[in-house]
Amino acid sequence: MSKIFERMQKRQFTRKQKSKLEVAMIYLILAVMFLIIFYPLFWAFAISMNTTSNLFTASLSPANWSLDNYVWLFTNPRSDYLQWYRNTLFVSTIVTVVTTLLVSFTAYAFSRYRFRGRTYGLYAFLLLQMFPVLMAMVALFILLNTIGLIDNLWGLILIYIGGNIPMNAFLVKGYLDTLPKSLDESAKMDGAGHFRIFFQILLPLAKPILSVVALFNFMAPFMDFILPRIVLRSPENFTLALGLYNFVNAQFSNNFSRFAAGAVLIAIPIATVYLLLQKYLISGLAAGATKG
Amino acid sequence: MPTDKKNQKNKRPVNADLDHSPKKAMLLSVIPGMGQIYNKRRLKGALIFILFAAFTVMMFDFIASGLQGLITLGTEPRVDDSRVFLIEGILAIIFTVFYGVFYTFNLQDAKKEAQKIRDGWRPGGVMENFRNSWDAGFPYVLIGPGFILLIFVVILPLLFMAFMAFTNYNLYNAPPRNILQWVGFENFVRLVTIAEWRTTFFSVLSWTLTWTFVATTLSIGLAMFLAILTNDKRLKGTRIIRTILILPWAVPGFVTIIIFSALFNDNFGAINTDIIQPLFNTTIPWMSNVMWSRIAIIMIQVWLGFPYVYALFSGVLKGISDDWYEAADMDGATRWQKFKEITFPHLMFATGPILLTQYTFNFNNFNIIYLFNEGGPAVRGQNAGGTDILISWVYGLTFNNSQFSMAAAISLILGLIVATFAFFQFRRSRSFKEEGNY
């Protein structure tokens, strides 16, 4: 009895069939994941294409899609959307350039030089990277209020740059540590100066991690709404995240399709940048991870 | 070692200047620069003297009045602004610390150089000296700009917050109308003795810890599961699959959270009207019931949080050599054994510290809590909402209730928790151990 049963089972599930079944299972699981990932995104996109700005009457069918909400964002005099986009790009660009530069300098010093106070510096950075700037929000709010930097994009930029340095410096330092020291030592023998070694030898090699750092810093102001909310007051100074949040905050269901339209326009460029740099991103992340 | 030292002593260098005393150089440097002049480095000595003199002249008044102001916090209401006094006091402390560090540097430099002179070293020409100090100072030049920014943007606010936790700054006692007083640990004592504060604090704390653990662990688990699935060699189109799985991270978080909070809305949210209502003929109070809000928030965070870890994991998995698995196959290892003995250790070894930052991130994940339903729903008998975590509670206290000192005290506790947790973990991580060897 049992022998027959065994033979039957063997015939039913040969190795090949079993493997095929497994692969099918994997695809099925992935399909469910894709559904869960795409559903909210598609839903938001569909809402953004609706003519009514009311969630109750909105429909998901593409039959009567229109670009009304997008047009409203760009042409309606009551819309500050373009200004917000400009503000955010301004903040993001400056933060990215300055942070990447400062961080690579700092990481270079910590990775390649043995100087007095280095260990203390590393400890300080390690400690500071654990405290998000947000933790001091009470203090930031009162500080900025007292010195009059509230409602000023430069105040926001300063906080972003300062807050970004410790963590990113650690990430880049970890990466630089993995590059062989013989490279810069031989360059030093050939008479290359400090800056030359940095810009011509280490920087090109550190490109993967630096692009990760740059990308993080560029995306952060698009995604962050809490610091802008603490710092900025008047709508013409808002960044995108804060502005859009205020859209839905005021009358949630009535403005939602406009919010969705604005959000789609943020998500597309960010996702594109991200996907273009994906290769660097994953290798950079993994490299940073192996060294902490 | 002792014999080595003896040999060195016997082989006295030709130029050795035995009369040149390091102690004397150090003592002379009590007036900065004098020791360096004694070491026959006149230009350097003069520069140091001028810098220190300038600093002392310019900063003395500021530091003295700053430190005094830090003690009194002002005397005349409406004229003196206690906040300004606090800031100036903290700046005075920072400057004093700097002064002390440079002063010690100056002493040690004089001593070290005198020692070198005694052992036969001669300072070279101006150009050579300049080049040497450029070499030695270069790392400081690199670090300087970032460090200064860090002091003003991160350290100053953190200190300000720490000091504020020991004052009585609230809606009814706010500068410039009133003068602040130092109240010692009163805020912390109130937090555990006054019933309303105590219940709020402990319920918020326990939810914060639960939230951190559950949301992060679930995202890591899902990420690991998916990374292992998509690492399967039989799969086609893995690049596209990976890209799609990473998509939730590419979309700005605040956008998706707001979308989700619309989807989960009790009345018109699509999850209730399109899924729950048709299937179970009921609706779930996602926004107005504490437990359901918590479940919704955790689910959303898993959606948001897994792609980052997934990207990390699939990068590591790609790097694991096939040899490991082939050897395991030869030994007849089961799938679970391969996972337990090869995959899992590899993943943890490579990403451990970064995974821990995921936990600290969620511990302070303000965005999702605030954007979903502003920490709500309200809970009877406490001044925080049902899904409020410590940091969103601090936000509420600051911006809605103007309980600034209390907010600062709680931030301080929050900071201590994060620091302790991270410190112990980082000490165990590899990179930290490596640093210890230098």
Which two tokens mark A291?
A: 């060294």
Option in A159, A162, A194 nearest B138 (CB)? A194
What is the residue type of B129? N
CATH assignment of B189-436, given 1.10.260.40, 1.10.3720.10, 1.10.730.10, 3.40.50.460?
A: 1.10.3720.10
Q: Is A106 within 8 Å of B395 when comparing Cβ atoms?
A: no
CA angle centred on A16, ends A15 and A20, rounded to 5°: 120
CA gap A215, A107 in Å, rounded: 17
Q: Are A38 and A142 contained in the same domain? A: no
Nearest CA in chain B to A290: B350
Q: Are A168 and A40 contained in the same domain? A: no
pLDDT of residue A190: 83
Which residues in chain A touch residue B90, judged by CB atoms under 8 angstroms apart?
none
Q: Is A130 within 8 Å of B149 when comparing Cβ atoms?
A: no
pLDDT of residue A94: 95
Q: Are A35 and A175 contained in the same domain? A: no
pLDDT of residue A274: 75
CB B162 within 8 A of CB B89: no
pLDDT of residue B431: 47
Option in B312, B366, B430 nearest A134 (CB)? B366
Could you tell me which residue, A270 or B190, shows the higher pLDDT? B190
Q: Is A278 within 8 Å of B143 when comparing Cβ atoms?
A: no
Option in A137, A161, A194 nearest B149 (CB)? A161
- A288 — pLDDT class (breaks 50, 70, 90): very low
Nearest CA in chain B to A163: B154
**At a CB cut-off of 8 Å and minimum separation 6, what does B356 contact?**
B422, B425, B426, B429
Which residues in chain A touch residue B145, judged by CB atoms under 8 angstroms apart?
102, 105
Q: Is A289 within 8 Å of B232 when comparing Cβ atoms?
A: no
Q: Is B419 within 8 Å of A37 when comparing Cβ atoms?
A: no
Q: Is B263 within 8 Å of A43 when comparing Cβ atoms?
A: yes
pLDDT of residue B15: 66
3-class SS at A55?
coil
pLDDT of residue B433: 47
Which residues in chain A touch residue B87, judged by CB atoms under 8 angstroms apart?
143, 146-147
% pLDDT > 90, chain A: 11
**Cis ω for the linkage preceding A40 (within 30 of 0):** no
Q: How far A86 CA lies from chain B's nearest CA (Å)?
A: 17
Boundary-marking domain end, from A72, A100, A134: A72
Can you tell me which residue has the tokens 């009207």? B273
Q: Is B314 within 8 Å of A282 when comparing Cβ atoms?
A: yes
The total domain count for chain A is 2
CB B121 within 8 A of CB B39: no
Q: Is A245 within 8 Å of B258 when comparing Cβ atoms?
A: yes
Backbone angles phi, psi at A113, to 5 degrees: -115, 145
Residue A244 has pLDDT above 60, yes or no: yes
As beta bridge partners, residue B220 has: none
Q: Are A13 and A109 contained in the same domain? A: no
Nearest CA in chain B to A230: B399
Q: Are A88 and A60 contained in the same domain? A: no
Q: Are A126 and A32 contained in the same domain? A: no
Which residues in chain B touch residue A291, judged by CB atoms under 8 angstroms apart?
430-431
Which two tokens mark A67?
A: 């670009």
**How many beta-carbon contacts under 8 Å exist across A and B?**
261
Which residues in chain A touch residue B136, judged by CB atoms under 8 angstroms apart?
115
CA angle centred on B191, ends B186 and B196, rounded to 5°: 130
Neighbours of A153 (CB within 10 A): 20
Option in B246, B364, B367 nearest A135 (CB)? B364
Domain containing A244: what range? 79-291
Nearest CA in chain B to A168: B146
Residue A67 has pLDDT above 60, yes or no: yes
Q: Are A173 and A48 contained in the same domain? A: no
Option in A30, A114, A286 nearest B350 (CB)? A286
Q: Is B160 within 8 Å of A136 when comparing Cβ atoms?
A: yes
Boundary-marking domain end, from A57, A72, A87: A72
The predicted-structure confidence for A92-107, as pLDDT tens digits, reads as follows 999 999 999 999 999 9
Q: Are A174 and A239 contained in the same domain? A: yes
What are the pLDDT tens digits along chain B (438 aa)? Answer: 444 444 444 455 566 677 778 888 888 888 888 888 888 788 888 888 898 888 888 888 888 888 888 888 888 877 788 888 888 899 999 999 989 988 898 888 888 888 888 887 777 777 777 788 888 888 888 888 998 888 888 889 889 999 999 998 888 888 878 888 888 899 999 988 988 888 899 999 999 999 999 999 999 999 999 998 888 888 888 888 888 888 888 888 888 888 898 888 887 778 888 888 888 888 888 888 888 889 999 999 999 989 888 888 888 888 787 888 888 888 888 888 888 888 888 888 877 777 877 888 888 888 889 888 888 788 877 888 888 898 889 988 888 888 889 999 999 998 888 888 767 766 665 544 444 433
Q: Is B251 within 8 Å of A224 when comparing Cβ atoms?
A: no
Q: Is A140 within 8 Å of B303 when comparing Cβ atoms?
A: no
pLDDT of residue B6: 46
Q: Are A155 and A230 contained in the same domain? A: yes
Which two tokens mark B372?
A: 């979903």
B389: nearest Cα among B294, B300, B299, B262: B294
Q: Are A133 and A181 contained in the same domain? A: yes
Q: Is B430 within 8 Å of A128 when comparing Cβ atoms?
A: no
Q: What is the DSSP string of A95-142?
A: HHHHHHHHHHHHHHHHHH---TTHHHHHHHHHHHTTS-GGGGHHHHHH
Option in B83, B157, B253 nearest A140 (CB)? B157
B383: nearest Cα among B402, B369, B397: B397
Option in B138, B248, B360 nearest A130 (CB)? B360
Backbone angles phi, psi at B182, to 5 degrees: -75, 130
Q: How far B147 CA lies from chain A's nearest CA (Å)?
A: 9
Q: How far B432 CA lies from chain A's nearest CA (Å)?
A: 8
pLDDT of residue A4: 63
Option in A130, A226, A256 nearest B418 (CB)? A130
ipTM associated with this complex: 0.80
Backbone angles phi, psi at A55, to 5 degrees: -65, -30
**At a CB cut-off of 8 Å and minimum separation 6, what does B166 contact?**
B182, B183, B184, B185, B187, B405
Nearest CA in chain B to A178: B431
Nearest CA in chain A to B422: A130
Write a three-state SS string for chain B. CHHHHHHHHHCCCCCCCCCCCHHHHHHHCCCCCHHHHHCCCHHHHHHHHHHHHHHHHHHHHHHHHHHHHHHHCCCCCCCCCHHHHHHHHHHHHHHHHHHHHHHHHHHHHHHHHHHHHHCCCCCCCHHHHHHHHHHHHHHHHHHHHHHHHHHHHHHHHHHHHHHHCCECCECCECCCCCCCCECCCHHHHHHHHCHHHHHHHHHHHHHHHHHHHHHHHHHHHHHHHHHHHHCCCCCCCHHHHHHHHHHHHHCCHHHHHHHHHHHCCCCCCHHHHHHHHHHHCCCCCCCCCHHHHHHHHHHHHHHHHHHHHHHHHHHHHHHCCHHHHHHHHHCCCCHHHHHHHHHHHHHHHHHHHHHHHHHHHHHCCHHHHHHHHCCCCECCCCCCECCCCHHHHHHHHHHCCCCHHHHHHHHHHHHHHHHHHHHHHHHHCHHHHHHHCC
A108, A123, A131, A239: best mutation site toward chain B, by most B Cβ within 10 Å?
Answer: A131
**Cis ω for the linkage preceding B32 (within 30 of 0):** no
3-class SS at A76?
coil
A26, A135, A160: best mutation site toward chain B, by most B Cβ within 10 Å?
Answer: A135
Residue A75 has pLDDT above 80, yes or no: yes
Q: Is B426 within 8 Å of A292 when comparing Cβ atoms?
A: yes
Q: Is B432 within 8 Å of A44 when comparing Cβ atoms?
A: no
Q: Are A196 and A159 contained in the same domain? A: yes
pLDDT of residue B28: 83
Can you tell me which residue has the tokens 């980052």? B308
- A290 — pLDDT class (breaks 50, 70, 90): very low
Q: Is B87 within 8 Å of A244 when comparing Cβ atoms?
A: no
- A57 — pLDDT class (breaks 50, 70, 90): low
What is the longest distance spanned by two Cα atoms in chain A? 89
Nearest CA in chain B to A20: B234
Boundary-marking domain end, from A31, A52, A72: A72
Q: How far A246 CA lies from chain B's nearest CA (Å)?
A: 11
Nearest CA in chain B to A56: B268
Q: Is A56 within 8 Å of B268 when comparing Cβ atoms?
A: yes
Q: Are A206 and A226 contained in the same domain? A: yes
Q: How far B10 CA lies from chain A's nearest CA (Å)?
A: 31
CB B401 within 8 A of CB B219: no
pLDDT of residue A291: 37
Option in A115, A147, A219 nearest B140 (CB)? A115
- A127 — pLDDT class (breaks 50, 70, 90): confident
Q: Is A292 within 8 Å of B157 when comparing Cβ atoms?
A: no
Q: How far B18 CA lies from chain A's nearest CA (Å)?
A: 27
**What is the mean pLDDT of the segment spanning A182-202?**
83
